[in-house]
Each structure stands twice: as structure tokens, then as C-alpha cells.
Structure 1
Amino acid sequence: MKYIISLFFLFFLVHHSLSGKETPVLLPNITPRLAKFLESLPQNAQNEITSSFKETLSYDLIGDKKVEAEPSKRIIEIDETTEAGHGVLVFELTQSGSRFLFLNDLPYKIPLPNLSHAEQFTIALIFAEHEKAIFVDRNWGRMWFDPPSAMTDIQKEAYKKLGLIQDEK
């Protein structure tokens, strides 16, 4: 039985190396959803993204979306879980690879003024869609109008697009 298992394992290794397809750098602390998403990316983008990961933290895909005004760019948001809370890693993906944009507790507090409005809006929209899916019963209008509100203008714009809050009259 050990011989059969060894042969099967050896066959798997040889077949895998001959197939020419490299596997992504997958860490044990990422969710299957994020692993599947990373496998869909080019190898260099996988490596650039996973190089930001730390072994002691956990990671999950929040979402990704094309930048409407620049369809060759996509924004990717990844949830980073620590013992103390969550952070959001934000990456930009282009045909040539990916680049780390920033890490923040709320991605709509965008610390990079050199991003276009379309890029900033895409960042806010991905997170708003994520919040909409998680907080189904939230009263978004009340959250916006009850002080103190940390909602930014770009976040408010994303929530309006999703129909979560109405225009002020």
C-alpha cells in the first residue's frame, strides 16, 4: 500500500512539473475563496500580492472590480484579520502585474491623492458592496445622518449608487 501511495505521489509531482503550469504561492492562512481568486491571476501578480501577506495573519477576498474609466485596471481588496481586528489591503492589477496601494481599516479613507476619482470610487464601491452583503439589516440612512459619522463623500457616493442611501433634499 505504501508503494502505491508513493507511486501516486511521484506521478502527481512528475505530471505537475511537466504540465508547465506553476502553482500560486498559497499560504495556509488564506481562505479557499482567495486561493481560487489568486489562481486566476498571472503568476507575477500572485507573487506580488502574496508577498504582502504575513504568516501570523489570515486573509480573505473582499472583492475585485474593473475601474470603470480605465478598464485595463482592476482594484482588489483583501481582508487582513489580526487578533485586534481587521485591515483592508488594496491592490491595483494591470496587464503588467499588480501593485500594493495601501492598507487601512476602512478602504474608503483613501490615503493616496494621486489616484483618479474612478480608482477611488472603485475602491469605495467594492467595500460598499461587501458591507451591503454582510450587513443586510442595516439602516444606512440612519448610519449616515446620526453623528458621529465617519462616512466620506466617496463612500456616500458608492452607497447612493447601490441604493443604500438616498440623495439629500
Structure 2
Amino acid sequence: MGDGTREFPVGLQRQAEAGGYGLLAPDEAWRRVRAGALSMVDVRDAAQYEVGHVPGALCFPLPPTWMARLLRRWWLHKVLCAARCPSVAFVCDGATSTRSDSAARAAVVQGFAVAYRIAGGMDAWHAAGLPVEFGPCGPCAPSVDAVGDVSGRGGQGAPPRTTCSGGG
């Protein structure tokens, strides 16, 4: 279920088909972001986001362990409004990271009509020579800092951002 313009590694294609989402090459993703047709979500750690991310990407750190992901994925629908995002794509470290796969699967389950994973992650983004921007990971989503507490502030903080980054 790729973007129709590229061949992707068989393993990535199988994951995408099993998860119900598509694959995008970085250059195609950037073209869609610039056209306002795609919202980007960076699921890497906040420190990785801060040293270079896709321009306009929403920072949504997704823990690398599957157990922590289960606590975190359900926040996705609060961070992004499926009705306002034309399509959403997730980017992580590189080709071997599974965080973007997990996020794309969660987006499909949570009702996003079109969800993608950026093939090759930020490694491929950099290799393609595409632009990056720098800056802090804002308070768009709560952090997982204790078992059972996904608010990051014991339930006292501001609600997560509910708008699209990029396409909406």
C-alpha cells in the first residue's frame, strides 16, 4: 500500500499492509506537506526532535518499548483531530525503528482516513537532502513518566494540542 511511485523494501511493505497504512518516500512526503495535504508527526524522542525535524512536524515522542507504546497510543486522537487532518504521516529514526509503524497502526484504528509511514525515517529524510528545522518539542502531548500516569503532570496540566501540524 505504498504511494505508487516507488518500490519499498518487502519488510516495510508487509508491515504497512498488515497495519492498513501506506508508505511514503521522504521526497513525496515533503511535496505533500508543502501542498498542505499532509500533516507530519515525529515520534522520536524529544531530544532527537530538537536537533532536527521535518519543518512543521508535530512532536509526539512515542516510547521505543511496546509496553510504553500501549500506554501512549490512545493519546493520538487527542493530539490530532482526524476530521481536520487530510492525511497524517509518521516519521521516526530510521528503517529499523518500529515506532512509526506503531503510530501509523494506531492512527488507522483511531479513524484517520489516510495514514502513512515515512520509509527510512529521518535517516532517509537527511539522505534525500530535504530541509529540517530545529526547536523544542512543545507540550503537544503528555509524557509517560510513571506507570499509569500519562499526563506528565499528574492530571494537572493543560490539555494536549488538538490541531493538525502541516495540512490542516
Bigger share in strand? 1
TM-score in same-fold range (> 0.5): no
Q: Which has the higher contact order (CA 8 A, sep 6+)?
A: 2
| TM-score (norm. length: structure 2) | 0.25
**Structure with bigger gyration radius:** 1
